[in-house]
Each structure stands twice: as C-alpha cells, then as structure tokens.
C-alpha cells in the first residue's frame, strides 16, 4: 500500500512539475518567427520606447519592463492566448515571462537572445520614428459632457496604445461610424487621461461606454462585435 501511495505521489509531482514548466517556453528566433506567423497571440516587446522605435518585430506591442506600472499593465492583458515576449538580449523578457507565469498567463514564449539574435539570423524588423506616435488629447469630465450633450447617442472608448484588444476595438468602432455617421465618438487614452479614467471607474481596457441623452446606457469591458454594438445603438 505504501508503495502504491508513493508511486501515486511521484506521478502527481511529476505531472505538476511538467505543467508548470510548460507555461514558459524558451525558443530560438526561427521558432519564434514560425509561431508568430502561424498562431494567434500577442507579440510583446518589453524594452524601453527608445529601443522599440529604433527597431522592433512587426505587430509588436511595447510595454517597458522598467516602468513602475509594468506588472499592472500585464495583469490587464488577456491571459488565455499565447504571449510572444522579447527584449534586447533575453534578460528582461525572461523576467517578464516569470511575472506572467505568476499572473496566470496560459502560455508564454520567450525569445532566446532577444532581438539581437533575431536580427543576427536575418529575420525582418521594422523601425518607426518617435514623431509618428499618436498624440492623444486630454479631457476633463466637463469637456466630455460638453461634447456629448448635443447628441442623442455618444460613444466613449477608453483604450491604450499598448493594449492589443484596444486596437481591434477601434477597428470595430470605425466600421460602426461608417454606418452611423451622426454618432458622437470620443476616443480616450486611459494612460494620458488617468484622472478621467478614475472618474469613470475604468479598471481595465478597452472599455466602451454608450451614452443616451448624456446618461450612461451601456458599458462593456473587452471586445464587443460590430453587430452587438449596433444593436445597442438602435
């Protein structure tokens, strides 16, 4: 009986150990490229914005590992899809992967050697000018009220530049705007408008708020389909 219990305990420990180790997978540049081309997920660059603009992997989202709110922003991201993380040489991304494991992310792929190894193997990177970064307006509650008071329906969308679902939500909003050109739409960057986000009780992004006659009619956190959004505006 003791042998059976020992064997069962051993199997359980091995099983748990394997499950934990599979959350983070360290892969080389070729494997990294194959996965981001063939599987859905979020490509996460954890370098500074200066490093990011000097050259990054296409479609990557920049989230600076050194920023005080790094873990807070990580915790807002979707945890049920793969994350492909990299930095300059692999140090910061390895630590970031550890954070993500502790936060409950289901799968994290860490690029061994970072973008240095990526470039050395001849994989394509893109660069962008810091001036190309969109400048977001700031709002007060009174300014928002003034913008929406002359419209029957208004839509306020809270998002951030680093939030991947936010980018998808903006595309849906653009599609809705073509169908309802009279709809007043206000795009608010939650990072730039922290006080406004606090006033509207925004705890994550994207958040979409529909107002009717300046009163909140509907609120949704995450992505909502174009069809469902149009239905709420009828």
The per-residue pLDDT for range 39-58, each reduced to its tens digit, is 989 999 999 999 999 999 99
For position 71, which CATH number holds? 3.40.250.10
- pLDDT value at residue 8: 46
Cβ atoms within 10 Å, residue 144: 21
Beta bridge partners of 188: 158
Average pLDDT, stretch 8-31?
65
Structural domain total, the chain = 2
Average pLDDT, stretch 20-38?
90
Are residues 139 and 193 in contact, defined by beta-carbon separation less than 8 angstroms?
yes
Closest CA to 43 of 92, 85, 75, 2: 85
Residue range(s) defining the domain that contains residue 63: 22-130
Burial category of 110 from C-beta neighbours within 10 Å (exposed 0-12, middle 13-18, buried 19 and up): buried
Q: Each residue of 91-130: pLDDT tens digit?
A: 999 999 999 999 999 999 999 999 999 999 999 999 876 5
Does 26 reside within a domain?
yes
- Active site (annotated) includes residue 87: yes
Alpha carbon dihedral 136, 137, 142, 146, in 10-degree steps, equals -110
Catalytic member of 16, 87, 163, 166: 87
Residues 26 and 116 in one domain: yes
Q: Which of 130, 159, 186 is the last residue of a domain?
A: 130
Does 15 reside within a domain?
no
Which carries the bigger pLDDT value, residue 162 or residue 148? 148
Length of the chain: 234
- pLDDT value at residue 207: 96
- pLDDT value at residue 165: 87
Residues 156 and 215 in one domain: yes
Q: Report whether pLDDT(19) > 60.
A: no
Residues 94 and 32 in one domain: yes
pLDDT above 70 covers a percentage of the chain that reads 88
Are residues 64 and 46 in contact, defined by beta-carbon separation less than 8 angstroms?
yes
Are residues 100 and 41 in contact, defined by beta-carbon separation less than 8 angstroms?
no
**Residue ranges of E strands in 55-166:** 61-62, 83-86, 108-111, 153-159
Q: Report whether pLDDT(2) > 50.
A: no
Closest CA to 172 of 218, 206, 149: 206
Which carries the bigger pLDDT value, residue 87 or residue 150? 87
Residues 123 and 194 in one domain: no
Q: Report whether pLDDT(134) > 90.
A: no
Residues 47 and 88 in one domain: yes
């Amino acid at each position: 009986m003791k042998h059976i219990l020992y064997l069962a305990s051993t199997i359980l420990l091995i099983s748990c150990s394997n499950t934990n180790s599979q959350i983070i997978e360290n892969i080389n540049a070729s494997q990294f490229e194959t996965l981001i081309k063939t599987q859905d997920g979020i490509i996460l660059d954890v370098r500074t914005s200066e490093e990011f603009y000097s050259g990054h992997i296409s479609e990557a989202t920049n989230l600076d590992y050194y920023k005080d709110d790094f873990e807070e922003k990580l915790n807002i991201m979707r945890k049920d899809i793969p994350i492909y993380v990299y930095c300059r040489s692999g140090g910061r991304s390895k630590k970031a992967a550890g954070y993500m494991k502790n936060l409950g992310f289901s799968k994290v792929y860490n690029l061994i050697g970072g973008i240095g190894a990526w470039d050395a193997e001849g994989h394509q990177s893109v660069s962008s000018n810091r001036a190309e970064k969109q400048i977001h307006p700031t709002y007060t509650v009174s300014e928002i009220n003034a913008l929406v008071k002359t419209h029957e329906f208004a839509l306020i969308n809270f998002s951030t530049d680093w939030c991947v679902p936010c980018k998808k939500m903006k595309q849906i909003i653009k599609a809705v705007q073509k169908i309802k050109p009279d709809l007043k739409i206000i795009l608010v960057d939650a990072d730039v408008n922290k006080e406004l986000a606090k006033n509207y009780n925004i705890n994550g992004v994207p958040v979409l708020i529909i107002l009717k006659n300046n009163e909140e009619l509907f609120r949704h956190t995450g992505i909502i389909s174009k069809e469902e959004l149009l239905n709420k505006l009828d």
